[in-house]
Structure 1
């Protein structure tokens, strides 16, 4: 999520889904939710969030390592901003303040001490409606809990409002700060223009010891061999950032990312009756 250098290397795929353009021979396997059991359920009937996990809140409003990115500062939660919930929908708002600075919101499920929810392997999914407009940069992503030797990152979905007909998925293993070389790869998915901001869609990733698969609306769009660095618990993050190197002078003020839910699953034990 922090590096755009891999962007030009990402491949483009056109999906054959309801409302999406077709691509002959595109294989799309659908994930079988029936063989999974839910381990984390956030339906946003209410929001349990604090700046840094005070009183054991379920979410914090910053990256645990306190690293901002983009052109909007991720702000502490306050009454009505940047997070509101209504009828089971979380709204993350990006807004320009009277000082001329943009502020927005991010949620992470662990705090700086590693306390909170994380899980090794399994299926992580968010259902969202993305904001329209140039300059918006929403994302659903995962970070490995142990950052002592490297940082493992999976970008399930990153969207750039200047191109409303595609989004990117990718992964990174950040080793450079420890003297190693980074590993990165990614994939572009092309969709019907505007559908991601007009409708809700699910964005998911299943991590297994052998293979990692990215899903759109529970149909596979990209997969890769699971790196050994991904044999670790991951925790989910969701945010509405701005910019990513692109101008924000035409970004709608305010802009909203709508999140219906974030769910995490794991495979049921072999022989389970359900």
Structure 2
């Protein structure tokens, strides 16, 4: 990552009239070399004390009022998320501050499926056709029929149906970009509308190439119909996965049923974002709900495989080990049960 190092200005040439300087009785102020900074996510900036009164035994204590935006250690500020933070330096009975504005990373569009045609673009996607349960005891049969998946009115529509089909009681669809469109770092964004009803389990997610869970899984968005006010996200890896209940996960519960409207789901996957470690951020409608951070321990244990190409998956499951944990309300099939995707877009850093 790029590091922004802010050089200490000469004590003799630097003067300050900032109103955040605190005056001591001896007339000497605690003064920093900056009163405000603007940095990008992942950058660091160094702020230094340029003058301070003599106070026996005192040391400068640094703090941040918003560590989701910026942290500080001995005057080194690390920008961890977009927004505003106030960094304070306290010395004895004096305190002064630096206003820090952290701006988001800048991306450019590199690929998109806007679903503007009359059929699925098979240059981007393949159908997965099976009734194997998806490894989660799901109850549907995934088909490539128009009844279960169609492109209509500028949207991808996956419809789950209650019907007998090849030994299953439900049908739906699942598509993958495997061997067609791969993604490594960058940003994935989708505008989507989940179906209502107990027993539904729509998802937008990614898998690495290779055996699960060693190759990794990124669940960008999962929704289970019995918990209609919540969206979920997760990572699955070699030693930390859903089979042993140790997977990293996040989510948010809202005041409204998330199936009532469209939502924009975003995953930012940033290489070497903080101190040489990757991070994955998941946001809903522009609000960050979870940051997954690589650590040396995860890297050494094989639990951070997220430095290789991954492919996208979009599916609507019925029942299963999570979606069906409270059963299936079959009355929902009196109406259409639809998972609608307006677009999927991929970006890379400029």
TM-score normalised according to structure 1 size: 0.73
Where in structure 1 do 4 or more consecutive aligned residues deviate above 2 Å? 25-34, 46-50, 66-69, 145-149, 174-177
Inter-CA distance 190–176: structure 2 relative to 1 (3 Å threshold): closer
Q: How many residues align?
A: 227
Inter-CA distance 137–199: structure 2 relative to 1 (3 Å threshold): same
Q: Which runs of 5+ in 2 are unaligned?
A: 1-65, 69-80, 84-101, 272-277, 299-303
Match of 1:160 in 2: 224
Name the structure with the higher strand share. Answer: 2
Inter-CA distance 29–105: structure 2 relative to 1 (3 Å threshold): farther
Match of 1:48 in 2: 120
Q: More displaced, 161-170 or 144-153?
A: 144-153
Larger radius of gyration: 2
Query: 1:191 & 1:26 partners in 2: Cα distance?
Result: 23
- Contact map agreement 1:134 1:251 (CA 8 A) in 2: no
- Aligned pairs (5 A) from 1:1-274: 29=82, 35-46=106-117, 47-48=119-120, 57-62=123-128, 68=134, 69=136, 70-75=138-143, 77-78=144-145, 80-98=146-164, 101-110=169-178, 115-147=179-211, 150-174=214-238, 184-194=247-257, 196-209=258-271, 210-226=278-294, 228-243=304-319, 244=322, 245-246=324-325, 247-250=327-330, 252-253=332-333, 254-268=336-350
What is the RMSD computed on CA atoms of the aligned residues? 3.0
Match of 1:20 in 2: none
- Contact map agreement 1:29 1:220 (CA 8 A) in 2: no
Query: 1:236 & 1:260 partners in 2: Cα distance?
Result: 15
Query: 1:73 & 1:49 partners in 2: Cα distance?
Result: 22
Q: Secondary structure at the match of 1:229?
A: coil
TM-score normalised according to structure 2 size: 0.58
Q: Secondary structure at the match of 1:95?
A: strand
Q: Which has the higher contact order (CA 8 A, sep 6+)?
A: 1
Q: Which runs of 5+ in 1 are unaligned?
A: 1-24, 51-56, 269-274
- Contact map agreement 1:141 1:238 (CA 8 A) in 2: yes
- Contact map agreement 2:120 2:151 (CA 8 A) in 1: no
Provide Cα deviations, 1:174-220, integer angstroms capped at 9, x if missing partner: 4699xxx89511112111221x2111101111111221111111221
Query: 1:198 & 1:182 partners in 2: Cα distance?
Result: 30
Q: Secondary structure at the match of 1:81?
A: coil
Task: State the 1:67 CA deviation.
Answer: 6.7
Provide Cα deviations, 1:133-182, integer angstroms capped at 9, x if missing partner: 111101111111344882300111110111111121111014699xxx89
